[in-house]
Chain A
Amino acid sequence: MTEKAKVLVIDDSPFISKAVRKAVEPEGFEVVGQAFNGREGLEMIRDHQPEIIILDVTMPVMDGLETAENIYRRNPDAKVIMLSAMGDEKLVTAAKRIGVKRFLNKPFKAEEMVAAIKGLL
Chain B
Amino acid sequence: MEEEKLFFFHKCMDDAFRKVVSQLTGMSLTPITEPSSITDEKKFSLIVGWVGQNKGRVLFELNEKLALKIFEAMNGVPPDDDLELYLHLAEFANMVSGNGITGINDFYKSSELRLTPPAVFAGEKLEITSPKVSSAGGAYRLEYGAIRLEIGIEGG
Contacts and interface: CB of A to CB of B under 8 A. Distances in A.
Interface stretch (B35-43, B96-104, B129-137, B143-151): B96-104
Contacts of B115: 58, 85-86
B75 A107 contact: no
B101 A88 contact: yes
Interface stretch (B2-10, B59-67, B87-95, B120-128): B87-95
A106 B95 contact: yes
Nearest to A84: B98
Contact of A58 (B94, B105, B109): B94
B27 interface: no
A88 B105 contact: yes
A14 B87 CA distance: 7
B98 A107 contact: no
B106 interface: yes
A13 B75 contact: no
A60 B12 CA distance: 26
A86 B117 contact: no
Interface in B45-90: 74-75, 84, 87-88, 90
Contacts of A85: 94-99, 102, 115
Which of B20, B90, B95, B115 is packed against the most chain A CB atoms within 10 Å?
Answer: B95
A87 B102 contact: yes
B30 interface: no
A58 B117 contact: yes
Contacts of B75: 15, 18
B91 A86 contact: no
Interface string A84-112: 11111111000000000000011101000
Nearest to A58: B115
Given A13-B94, A58-B115, A88 B106 contact: yes
Interface in A2-49: 13-16, 18
16 contacts: A14-B88, A15-B74, A15-B91, A60-B117, A84-B98, A85-B98, A86-B115, A87-B98, A87-B102, A88-B101, A89-B105, A89-B106, A90-B105, A90-B112, A106-B94, A107-B95
Interface of B: 20, 23-24, 74-75, 84, 87-88, 90-91, 94-99, 101-102, 105-106, 109, 112, 114-115, 117
